[in-house]
Amino acid sequence: VAVKENEALLSLAVKLYHKGDVDRAYNYIRVALDDALFYNARFKNSVIARIQPIIEDTYLQKIHSQQKNLRLYSIVTSLFVIFLIVTLSYLYIQIKAVSRAKKELRVMNDDLIQLNKKLDEANIVKEHYIGYFMNQCSVYINKLHRYHKNVNLNIKTGQMGNLHKFSTDEMVSDINELHTNFDKTFLALYPNFVTEFNSLLRNTEQYDLEKNQLNNELRIFALIKLGITDVKQIAEFLHYSAQTVYNYKSKVKAKALVESDQFEDEVMKIGSIQ
């Protein structure tokens, strides 16, 4: 019975080999060889000895091929992983670049909005003051005409003493009127100027002014807010001396909550056109 089973295993191994089932053929031929050795079947041993190397060689070739394919798959997989890492890294860098570009674009857009706002504000100020100074030119031409008539009248009547007094009084009146008109015009554009200016000062040093009125110090910084920063121009416009302008500025900056060299920049940020 054992011999017949051995023959059956040998026959099955050969058939499986020819069908391409090398793994099972190899297993069966090994079992058949072990049985033949156990039962000391010399003839079967010689038959198996001729067939077994063929099947074993094919089996080993298959194993080698599988190992080769496995190495190839490992290399391909590794290359794919490397490619995936490189691709993801590139995408990450691009996303960061896009995010950074969007952030810079938002900043630029905000700057552009602020610039447009300042341009709009400058245009409104320009239009407002063009109208104001055209009106003032007309007023001063009329006043100059009246002044000319009064001078001629005093000369004709010989009232030379009155002429100096009239000239001095007229000058003081004109300066006061200039300041009053400037205050009204400026505060019409920046109604919260005094309140916001006070926020830059210590509580005990803040100004309490009447409505539509500035004092000497605030007129100087109102002109700075309008972009007039030259001391000589400020002095000429307000009919002060340059030293007086310096003194007023120093006096105010000594009351400030911020550093002296930053104060004028903070004044420029005050308010918006109403």
Instruction: Report residue 41: phi and psi, to 5°.
Output: -90, 100
Looking at the DSSP assignment, which residues form a beta bridge with residue 201? 256
Residue with tokens 């080993």: 60
- What residue segments make up the domains of the chain, in order of their start? 2-68, 159-268
Note the pTM of the prediction, 2 decimals.
0.50
- The 3-class SS string of the chain reads CHHHHHHHHHHHHHHHHHHCCHHHHHHHHHHHHHHHHHHCCHHHHHHHHHHHHHHHHHHHHHHHHHHHHHHHHHHHHHHHHHHHHHHHHHHHHHHHHHHHHHHHHHHHHHHHHHHHHHHHHHHHHHHHHHHHHHHHHHHHHHHHHHHHHHHHHHHHHCCHHHHHHHHHHHHHHHHHHHHHHHHHHHHHHCCCHHHHHHCCECHHHCCCCCCCCCCHHHHHHHHHHCCCCCHHHHHHHHCCCHHHHHHHHHHHHCCECCCHHHHHHHHHCCCCCC
Nearest Cα neighbor of 26 from 50, 58, 49, 2 is 58
* Residue 69 to residue 61: CA distance in whole angstroms: 12
* Residue 156 to residue 146: CA distance in whole angstroms: 15
Q: Give every residue of the chain whose pLDDT is below 70, as ranges.
A: 1-7, 33-52, 54-55, 125-142, 144-145, 147, 154, 158-171, 272-274
What pLDDT is attached to residue 254? 93
Structure tokens at 160: 């030379």
Instruction: Please name the residues in contact with 232: beta carbons below 8 A apart, sequence gap of 6 or more.
Output: 242
CATH 3.40.50 holds for 159-268? no
Whole-angstrom CA distances from 97 to 93, 105, 172 are: 6, 12, 65
What pLDDT is attached to residue 1? 38
What pLDDT is attached to residue 43? 46
What pLDDT is attached to residue 201? 94
What pLDDT is attached to residue 196? 93
Query: Other C-beta atoms within 10 Å of 107: how many?
Result: 10
What pLDDT is attached to residue 76? 92
